[in-house]
Amino acid sequence: MVTATHSTEASEDARRAAIDHLWMNSRGWTEMAESGEPNVLVEGSGVRVKDASGKWWMDVNGGYMSVHAGYGRTEIADAAYEQMKRLPYMANTTTAEPTPKLARKLAEITPGNLTRSYFVSGGSEANESALKMARAFQQRTGYPGRHIVISRRGSYHGALGQTMWLGGLPGQHREDYGPSYPGMVYAPQPLPYRCELGGRTPSECAALCAEAVKSLIQFHGEESVCAVIAEPVASPLGAAVPGGEYWPMLRETCTRYGVVLIADEVVTGFGRTGKMFAVEHWGVTPDVMTVAKGIVSSYLPIGAAIATEQVAQAFAGGPNSKNRQLNHTLTFSGHPVAAAAALKNIEILETENLVDNSEKTGKYFLESLEELKDKHDIIGDVRGLGLFLGVELVKDRETREPLGQEADVGARIGQKMADRAMIFRAYQSSMSIGPPLCITRGEVDEIVRALDESIAEVSIDLGLGV
């Protein structure tokens, strides 16, 4: 057994190595060094993680809203280990047993006729692959001029070549990587609380925003528009749940104009919203669905772009030159160890009814957040589906005036939560909450209590009252 002293020394050594050599996601090493970060974790169980000093923390967002089955699931680790002992990788032009089994499982549980999976290492790669599929599909079906991709302001689809130019958020600093990728067009986000087209109800906002996509297609010409990509529920804006009309209207528009509809379920897939996939809330099947995160609860890197039979058939190969295979190769595509882990993770989600728990416990969580809204004037809106929830803080609830960046409210809330042994990073004043799907009502109460106290303290600090 490793002693506590040795563990602390090892942790400090790892922290120094991070400061000196590690490039972490969206973090600067200077600020981390000044604040004594990063916190080095050594163990996890359920919704909690332990650092080297022995302190347990609750991970409010389960990694990047991605550890669906919870920490410490030795069954997933064992499945990966057993596969690694048998066959860690596959020879060129072959596959290994877990990979096609995972593809078949996805075909069984995804909606409609989504039947064929191209495996990748994560969400950004999944969306990048989906865009390549969409453009190649249009070429092969006789529409070579279709190159424009429509995404929505306030969405996030990844950080690679094309994907980083989809959507867009304040503070994203895309100017560092210009010029912008060609053919990117932006539609409004159907967020009812801040409908940029003036919709006064969720239904009105949904219809206006869906019509805006149609108008963009008509303006640019259907012969020029390749695809529409959208998250069923947008994550950066704090669980932007659209009105019920939005996705059916989007599906009808894309079908009418021959545009490929890509549903980015990287965050929402595998039970996050109380359905196995979020598009099921609206009875819609996209042409391509992208997944990652919850497919394996982040135990190993894996994701997929899953296409309908109609789209996939354009890449089946054979004597027809227009039907050739997709010219797209990734070294770790379909990695058998990750596939074995994903199969075990999906088994856990199903046998332990974690999707059902997401729906029921998420409803309880949302009701608890509504009670917080009644207590704190700084809370302008709470929203969500399942265990994908959002809280928006405002300067004035009546006018919905947002808190300025100078308030640094996200960092303030994060620090107050850390004081209560909660790992929680808010984005400015829009907070997304997405704990592991195994969370209990008692653990929800802990988070809500910590948020209650943290918001009250930040409100006082900003002179906004309680």
User: Which structural domains are found in the chain, ordered by start?
Assistant: 39-69+353-461 (3.90.1150.10), 75-351 (3.40.640.10)
- Which helix (H) or strand (E) is 136 found in, with range? helix 123-140
The β-bridge relationship of strands 379-385 and 148-152 is unpaired
12's tokens: 């400090």
Render pLDDT for 47-90 as a digit per residue (tens, 0 to 9): 999 998 899 999 999 999 999 999 999 999 999 999 999 999 99
pLDDT of residue 200: 95
219's tokens: 């303006």
CA 100 from chain centre, in angstroms, equals: 24
Q: Span 321-350, mean pLDDT? A: 92
For residue 324, is it left (φ>0), alpha (ψ between -120 and 50) or beta? beta
CA dihedral 409, 414, 415, 416 (to 10 degrees): 90
For residue 117, is it left (φ>0), alpha (ψ between -120 and 50) or beta? beta
- Whether residue 5 is predicted with pLDDT greater than 60 in this model: the reply is no
Q: Is 466 exposed, middle or buried (0-12, 13-18, 19+ CB in 10 A)?
A: exposed
Confidence label for 24 from pLDDT (cuts 50, 70 and 90): confident
Render pLDDT for 145-187 as a digit per residue (tens, 0 to 9): 999 999 999 999 998 889 999 998 766 778 888 888 899 999 9
Contact present, 147 and 226 (Cβ < 8 Å) = yes
Render pLDDT for 258-308 as a digit per residue (tens, 0 to 9): 999 999 999 999 999 999 999 999 999 999 999 999 999 999 999 999 999
Confidence label for 26 from pLDDT (cuts 50, 70 and 90): confident
3-state helix vs strand vs coil in the chain, percent to 5: 45, 15, 40
pLDDT of residue 173: 75
Task: Match 């010219």 to its residue by tokens.
Answer: 327
Most trustworthy range by pLDDT among 87-96, 233-242, 348-357, 408-417: 348-357
Distance CA 376, CA 452 (A): 8
pLDDT of residue 317: 84
Confidence label for 6 from pLDDT (cuts 50, 70 and 90): very low
pLDDT of residue 2: 41
4 versus 387: which is more confidently predicted?
A: 387
pLDDT of residue 170: 64
Render pLDDT for 416-443 as a digit per residue (tens, 0 to 9): 999 999 999 887 788 999 999 999 999 9
- Whether residue 369 is predicted with pLDDT greater than 60 in this model: the reply is yes
Predicted TM-score (pTM) of this structure: 0.95
pLDDT of residue 1: 37
52's tokens: 């080297």
Taking alpha carbons only, the member of 29, 31, 48, 36 closest to residue 11 is 36
